[in-house]
Structure 1
Amino acid sequence: MRYEFHSGKDICKICKEEKISISELMLRSEMEESMRSEKDIRDELRNNLSIMRSSINSGLDENNHQHGMFTGGDAIKIARFAGRTNMGKGMAKIIASSMAVAETNASMGKIVAAPTAGASGILPAVLIECGENQRGFDEETLINGLLTAGAIGCIIAENASIAGASGGCQAETGTAAAMGAAALAEMCKATPEEAFSAAAIAIKNCLGLVCDPVAGLVECPCIKRNAIASANAILSADLVLSGISSLIPFDEVVQAMANVGKSMHQDLRETARGGLAATNTAKELTKSLNKRRG
């Protein structure tokens, strides 16, 4: 296949030869593999953006708090506090958006797994709140951002993991942060090499992060990790856009991520037997939940 790729190096090589962006390469690759038209693919991504917007709005609706077993309403709290935060109003809104989606997911609402349900708040916060609402990017630019994010996710899925059960939370929120960082960087006119550098920095910032959901639910600490990973994505993109690059190349960072995931004890990979899930409070919450379930 003309547009087949298996690494960041492959993508950068093709982009340079064809004089195209990561998003354009991903679009051509998807058209080639799926035999669908550009319009069909972009329409599907347009629908994904619509769902992302809805999941943010649902989680921030003060008349319809999204509640999981242990969580709910935190996105609204940080949104209310936005004007007084130390991080600034803009970042607070990004954080609130990421938590809103994660809370919508916890309450069984409709979300886009990007790349997973547990990390579903990060890319919407970057694309919709930061990209659309704050930077004013149009929908076609946002769709390109989704394509770029997809390329990053594909490479990580092939060479490492996007599942907490096999790679820890670095594989979920770390991948989502990398996807968001690369997407934002490209939307801000970064080169393919710069976009991959942003993705590498995002992964390095959470390398080794374990997956330790309390009671096995994608709530604690997952929702707050979506918030942190959203900030990670924005920061990683800004570092690269300012002229700072990742010393370790993206493909090597992904390989490190894979190696770290393999070396993690099973208790730290979504089994709810280690980390925060093994604390006394978490154990009591699990017992309480089991009683409620009968």
Structure 2
Amino acid sequence: MTTHKNILIGSDTSTSLAAILKSLQTVNEYSFITATRVSDIIQISKSIQPILIILSFRDNQNIINSLISYNNSFTIPLLCLRQQQERKELKIQDQMVVFTQSFEYGVQSNHLSTNVQGILNLIQKTTQSSSSKTFAQNALQNNDQTKDLTRFTLELDQKKAILDKIKERIKQLYVNVDASTKAQLMSIVNTIKMTKNDRKHWDEFKRYFENINPNFLKNLSEKFPCLTAKDLKYCCYLKMNMSNEDIRLILGINQESVRTHKYRLKKKMVLEKHQDLRNYLQTLTN
């Protein structure tokens, strides 16, 4: 196995390991190696140097401390899946690159593969841009922006999911209340619709996206001046390798709308039938 194609997954329960592996079925071209003991994680990370380590322990901090104790200059990127009971912020050394995500949100809500793919794309991009440096050395320059971009994407996704649940609950209550209460409930629903389309979230997302992908939107607009603001938003999400399902959730639309818009984007960009829009945007230089 080639070292840059290995991902190490560590967890203290076989159930969690199985759930993580199932969530990563769409992450192709990588070999997954699993471990349940700290000593195994240290030994495997030493022998094969995986491109990424995913941790899902009851105490991720203990695993991080063990890795640092073994190697003070530990630089392999980590993704820590945090359990509900894990309240404290992780303490990490400056040279380490650590991403965090809720286990429940990532695995149980099927968002883990998108986050992992985004991290892998960042690793690949950073490695290609400067092969003489480690990923950690390069990532330290834009790590905060990258994590903020992921955070805004996940927060927006979570926000829409919560608002959708509230709307469903309002629908259930609507049929059993008087006219005055119905009017108040409809006012809440209209407020939710306005909030779901809040431009501030997009502006913040765009700012962090452009820090990581400078000139991508500018060059894309110059190359295809026919693209609308909505088109450019889709291109950003596809550049991040978001799935159709992720885009659907973030924009609050159905799968068919996502597919239709991607088809129209291909036509505007005059791409050949065999060309994949997602791959085209990801390989497009900034």
- Give the structure-1-normalised TM-score: 0.28
Higher strand proportion, which one? Answer: 2
Q: Which of structures 1 and 2 has the larger relative contact order (alpha carbons within 8 angstroms, sep 6+)?
A: 1
Larger radius of gyration: 2
